[in-house]
């Protein structure tokens, strides 16, 4: 397969290794495109589910076995897979540059968003009450509101670290609260050389305040005075990444991206499939949209093969 200039240039990059992403990868690679699938199947909402209503699959199947079978198909057809998270995405003329958790930069002619949209909640007292009043789930969206403030980020993965590092450019003091960080050595090195104060081995027990957030109470008994708390549980959200390149969101929910029947967003070369495009949250819908997105992205990449990289 022609990959353009080198191994880090692809025709199609798919963010999300659930049923939509897997199906998109299968259809794109079968159209002779160079394809990279990014994500971890255990993060898919299907992973821990049981399926008995999917056509042509008899009996009850676990989501894990279906996803593992799909990943095997993707590999056998010739697509590449990485379990890295995407930290940043930028459009450069007719291509997209993606920065991965491990520090690798890749370029692609097209991008398919195939991630879920549900925000993982802390489920602690004060979270719901102070949502939008000091509790945020999007560093890139809200960092500017906390210039010269004291903030905390809670999370155990790359999104939390990247968020904390980003906030050092805005806030006067940044805390990172984590039980046990799981991230690349490169990202951990950046954290350790930054001004972020890492409160490790503990978790947020309660969010406190009156009209707005004033402090967080940790499980180790320590109270930390903060003006805001960013909850970043897992990989960087699809909404933040989509917003970075101007993808139009569903104005009614602000939790989905808008696509047409060809899985196209408002940004040429960018597609969406699965739960990220809205209800119903069903594997059958995800697979169907993944099929369309994979084929359309491959067609788009082929038509623009001669574009600047």
Q: pLDDT (tens digit, 9 = 90+) per residue, 226-247? A: 999 999 886 666 777 888 899 9
Residue 180, domain extent: 135-231
In angstroms, the CA 270 to CA 276 distance is 13
Q: Which is higher by pLDDT, 103 or 224?
A: 224
Confidence of residue 256 (pLDDT cuts 50, 70, 90): confident
Please answer whether residues 126 and 218 qualify as being in contact, where contact means their C-beta atoms are separated by less than 8 angstroms: no
Same domain, 192 and 59: no
Same domain, 177 and 262: no
Single pTM value for the model: 0.72
Among 231, 260, 289, the domain-final residue is 231
Please answer whether residues 89 and 111 qualify as being in contact, where contact means their C-beta atoms are separated by less than 8 angstroms: yes
CATH of the domain at 207: 3.50.50.60
Torsion 113-22-44-157 (CA) sign: negative
Query: What count of Cα atoms within 13 Å lies in the side-chain half-sphere of residue 293?
Result: 37
- Paired with 190 in beta bridges are none
In-domain check, residue 308: no
Whether the pLDDT of residue 89 is over 80: the answer is: yes
Same domain, 75 and 35: yes
């Amino acid at each position: 397969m022609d990959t353009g200039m080198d191994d880090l240039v692809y025709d199609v990059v798919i963010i999300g290794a659930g049923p939509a992403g897997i199906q998109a990868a299968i259809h794109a690679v079968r159209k002779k495109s160079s394809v990279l699938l990014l994500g971890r199947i255990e993060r898919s909402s299907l992973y821990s589910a049981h399926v008995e209503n999917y056509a042509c699959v008899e009996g009850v199947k676990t989501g894990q076995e279906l996803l593992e079978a799909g990943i095997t198909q993707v590999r056998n057809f010739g697509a590449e897979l990485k379990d890295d998270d995407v930290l940043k995405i930028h459009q450069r003329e007719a291509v997209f540059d993606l920065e991965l958790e491990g520090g690798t930069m890749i370029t692609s002619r097209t991008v398919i968003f195939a991630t879920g949209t549900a925000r993982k909640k802390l489920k602690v007292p004060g979270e719901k009450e102070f949502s939008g009043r000091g509790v945020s789930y999007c560093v890139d969206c809200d960092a500017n509101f906390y210039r010269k403030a004291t903030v905390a980020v809670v999370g155990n993965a790359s999104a939390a670290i990247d968020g904390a590092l980003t906030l050092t450019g805005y806030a006067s003091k940044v805390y990172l609260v984590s039980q046990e960080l799981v991230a690349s050595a490169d990202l951990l090195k950046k954290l350790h050389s930054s001004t972020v104060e890492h409160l490790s081995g503990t978790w947020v027990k309660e969010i406190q305040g009156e009209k707005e957030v004033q402090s967080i109470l940790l499980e180790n008994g320590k109270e930390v005075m903060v003006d805001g708390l960013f909850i970043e549980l897992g990989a960087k959200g699809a909404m933040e990444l989509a917003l970075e390149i101007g993808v139009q969101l569903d104005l009614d929910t602000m939790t989905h991206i808008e696509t047409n029947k060809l899985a196209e967003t408002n940004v040429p070369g960018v597609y969406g499939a699965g739960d990220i495009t809205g209800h119903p949250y069903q594997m059958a819908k995800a697979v169907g949209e993944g099929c369309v997105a994979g084929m359309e992205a491959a067609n788009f990449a082929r038509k623009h093969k001669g574009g600047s990289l």
